[in-house]
């Protein structure tokens, strides 16, 4: 059975060893011969390394490194999971796992923070989406695989690790150390409260319980508020993603009809992909909705935001999302564990691909923390896409907020984005037209 995941995200569970190559199917003779020739080359190099390398090597470690290298060359999200890590990855989607509570990917050899998870050590330490982790306990992550770094960050609860964080762009970045105590991460993915005449619902990730917990929270607020309930605010800020079926189910909860999302493989020989449509039934009873987004909203969050925006069901308030539009398929490999392989891109109902672009809000609003996230993501994209040359001009050093002073959504000061959403619901503008 295959599970579809959305998230550029590796969340402290992952890597072991399997070796196997198969001849390519349905290819011409010349291509098949070249493939076999390259496999023979690999076999020859493997033998040279195991026999002639100056230190002892282990066959399983060599094969694992080869597999990891192949997958890493594809994208940051395709990874091999040995048996123990494959099971832990499945446990994650059920809502409990060990570690720091941080969703990460790899970029230019460093570890990039996609988003910290609510009420976890990583969030309490003040890590931000877009932060780059350069060292773990003083050891550089450069040269290590993503999975090696993840294994280093994992560990027994109540043990400490020091992360060296780079915040800002390459030319004028600030680095600082953050000491974090590991914990068992039990994700409570839906939180709710009353905000005046509106119901506020925060979704921090998409695991197996998200839709169920969301509906239960809405029912509770409906009972408490009665006829005073005038609308809903769904907060997807810093939500790094999760399960595709839960993103679809959450979107479906607010829609009566129409497409929610489509997935398509981006190669000519692939199948056309799938389209997912809404069934009748709106748990919000047609009341006005605002959805809060920011640069930490990724993947499954962007599916929900894009679907509700394209169908004019909700007004999006905040700032442009992360831009993670790729789908990973969890593929079991029997006794060898499994793998996550990027198999498709996803598209909003209007046909928008948001990978590396993101979802743009209908109403722009900012907290200071959002500006830090947006600046970090912008800098990372510029570095990745253009690798700009230094013209010799001295760049001003950006101000960097110490982690302990960093705000989180709805905490430590006025939440200007939430206030903007309330104003929108009280005098709603017409959502942007989408074609």
Active site residues: 299, 310, 324
Give the residue from 194, 197, 236, 237 showing the smallest Cα distance to 217.
194
- Alpha carbon distance 276, 258 (integer Å): 9
Give the residue from 288, 227, 338 showing the smallest Cα distance to 5.
338
- Alpha carbon distance 354, 361 (integer Å): 13
DSSP state string for 312-346: TSSEEEES------EEEEEEE-GGG-EEEEEEEEE
Residue 186: exposure state from Cβ atoms within 10 A (0-12, 13-18, ≥19): exposed
Residue 223: exposure state from Cβ atoms within 10 A (0-12, 13-18, ≥19): exposed
- Alpha carbon distance 323, 7 (integer Å): 10
Cα-Cα-Cα-Cα torsion 398, 360, 122, 396, nearest 10 degrees, comes to -10
* Token pair of 320 as six digits: 């442009």
| Residues whose CB is less than 8 angstroms from the CB of residue 62 and which lie 6 or more positions away in sequence, other chains included | 46, 49, 50
- Alpha carbon distance 324, 314 (integer Å): 21
Query: Cα-flanking dihedrals φ and ψ of residue 324, to 5°?
Result: -115, 100
Give the residue from 165, 58, 152 showing the smallest Cα distance to 100.
152
Please list the residues that pair with 198 across neighbouring strands.
195, 231
């Amino acid at each position: 059975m295959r599970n579809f995941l959305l998230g550029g995200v590796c969340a402290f569970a992952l890597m072991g060893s399997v070796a196997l190559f198969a001849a390519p199917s349905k290819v011409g003779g010349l291509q098949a011969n070249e493939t076999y020739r390259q496999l023979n080359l690999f076999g020859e190099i493997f033998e040279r390394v195991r026999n002639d390398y100056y230190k002892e090597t282990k066959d399983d470690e060599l094969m694992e490194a080869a597999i990891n290298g192949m997958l890493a060359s594809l994208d940051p999200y395709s990874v091999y999971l040995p048996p123990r890590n494959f099971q832990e990855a499945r446990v994650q989607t059920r809502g409990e796992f060990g570690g720091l509570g941080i969703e990460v990917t790899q970029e230019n050899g460093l570890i990039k923070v996609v988003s910290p998870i609510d009420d976890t050590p990583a969030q309490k330490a003040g890590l931000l989406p877009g932060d780059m982790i350069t060292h773990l306990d003083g050891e550089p992550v450069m040269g290590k695989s993503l999975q090696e770094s993840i294994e280093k960050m994992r560990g027994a609860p109540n043990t400490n690790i020091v992360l060296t964080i780079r915040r800002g762009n390459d030319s004028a970045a600030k680095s600082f150390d953050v000491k974090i105590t590991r914990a068992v991460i039990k994700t409570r993915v839906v939180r709710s409260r009353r905000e005046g005449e509106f119901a506020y619902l925060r979704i921090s990730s998409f695991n197996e319980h998200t839709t169920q917990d969301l509906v239960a929270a809405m029912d509770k607020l409906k009972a408490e508020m009665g006829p005073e309930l005038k609308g809903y605010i769904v907060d997807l800020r810093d939500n790094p993603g999760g399960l595709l079926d839960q993103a679809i189910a959450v979107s479906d909860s607010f829609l009566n009809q129409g497409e929610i999302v489509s997935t398509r493989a981006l190669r000519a020989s692939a199948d056309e992909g799938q389209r997912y449509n809404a069934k009748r039934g709106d748990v919000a009873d047609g009341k006005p909705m605002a959805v809060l987004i920011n640069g930490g909203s990724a993947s499954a969050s962007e599916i929900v935001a894009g679907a509700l925006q394209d169908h004019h069901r909700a007004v999006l308030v905040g700032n442009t999302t992360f831009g993670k539009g790729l789908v990973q398929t969890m593929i079991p490999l029997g006794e060898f564990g499994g793998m996550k392989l990027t198999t498709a891109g996803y598209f909003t109902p209007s046909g928008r691909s948001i990978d590396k672009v993101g979802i743009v809000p209908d109403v722009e609003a900012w907290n200071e923390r959002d500006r830090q996230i947006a600046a970090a993501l912008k800098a990372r994209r510029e570095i990745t896409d253009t690798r700009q040359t230094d013209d010799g001009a001295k760049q001003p050093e950006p101000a960097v907020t110490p982690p302990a002073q960093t705000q989180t959504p709805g905490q430590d000061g006025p939440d200007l984005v939430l206030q903007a959403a309330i104003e929108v619901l009280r005098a709603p503008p017409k959502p942007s037209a989408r074609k």
